[in-house]
Amino acid sequence: MTIGPNAWRRRREDVAAAVWRVLDQAGFAGLSIRAVARELDATTGIVTHYFPTKRELTSFALDLLAETTESRDRRIADPDVDPDGLRDLRSALRGMLPLDAISTTANRIWVSSWDAALADERHAADHADRYRVSRAKIAELLTDTDGDRDRVLQVTEVLHSFILGMTVQAVLDPTSYPPQRQIALLDELLDDLLTPE
């Protein structure tokens, strides 16, 4: 009996979700096909049926996580909060930070996945591609407020670096960097970078 492409995709997504749970709880050091099978309450044979290697398993799980993260609604809840015309940029940057349970889990997985990227050139290349896409989106939003291309690229790199650094600190030390603190630091940086002197 064969299963259709939709059922195949759904089952692979179920396995990917189990990978996320393992990564969130144990990081990449605790990730194995056996651990994923245990999380699924299935045999290792079921996992390897959908993903023959650990690399395929982790690549699919991270790609799906990127898609899921990108599709989340990141708009700022208060429509009146747009003092400087940067609502879309501010929303996109906040959407990258660990500000709620879902984004904290996603960011814990991303931070943990860097370990695999250090040991695997293809994982590293995948991450580099994702970060290029992320910077391009920030640059596109900045271009709407500033026509100077060199300035846009410079500010994009500063903002992207801030987001990555803030994410690591908030994931590893959430008490010192609760959501309100992350937002305040982001807003302060945006004011410093984008408010005309």
CA distances from 67 to 35, 70, 145, 191, 197 (A): 24, 5, 27, 30, 38
Q: Are residues 123 and 188 in the same domain?
A: yes
Structural domain boundaries enclosing 14: 5-67
Which carries the bigger pLDDT value, residue 9 or residue 165? 165
Q: Are 122 and 192 in contact (CB under 8 A)?
A: no
Residue 68 is predicted with a pLDDT of 78
Q: Which long-range contacts (CB under 8 A, 24 or more apart) does 188-192 make?
A: 189/158, 189/159, 189/162, 190/84, 190/86, 190/89, 190/90, 190/93, 190/159, 191/84
* pLDDT value at residue 78: 52
Place of tokens 């609502």: 87
Residue for token digits 């940086």? 189
Q: Specify the number of domains making up the chain.
A: 2
Same domain for 131 and 53: no
User: Which CATH number characterizes residue 175's domain?
Assistant: 1.10.357.10
List pLDDT tens digits, range 44-85.
Answer: 998 898 889 888 888 888 887 888 777 665 555 454 555 556
176 pLDDT exceeds 60? yes
Same domain for 100 and 59, yes or no, is no
Res 1 pLDDT > 50:
no
Mean pLDDT computed over 85-104: 89
Helix (H, G, I), strand (E, B) or coil at 76: coil
Average pLDDT, the chain: 85
Q: What is the CATH number of the domain that holds 61?
A: 1.10.10.60
Average pLDDT over residues 105-130: 88
> 81 and 147: one domain?
yes
Q: Does 102 score more than 80 pLDDT? A: yes
Taking residues 142-163, what's their average pLDDT?
88
pTM of the model: 0.78
Last residue of a domain, one of 67, 97, 120: 67
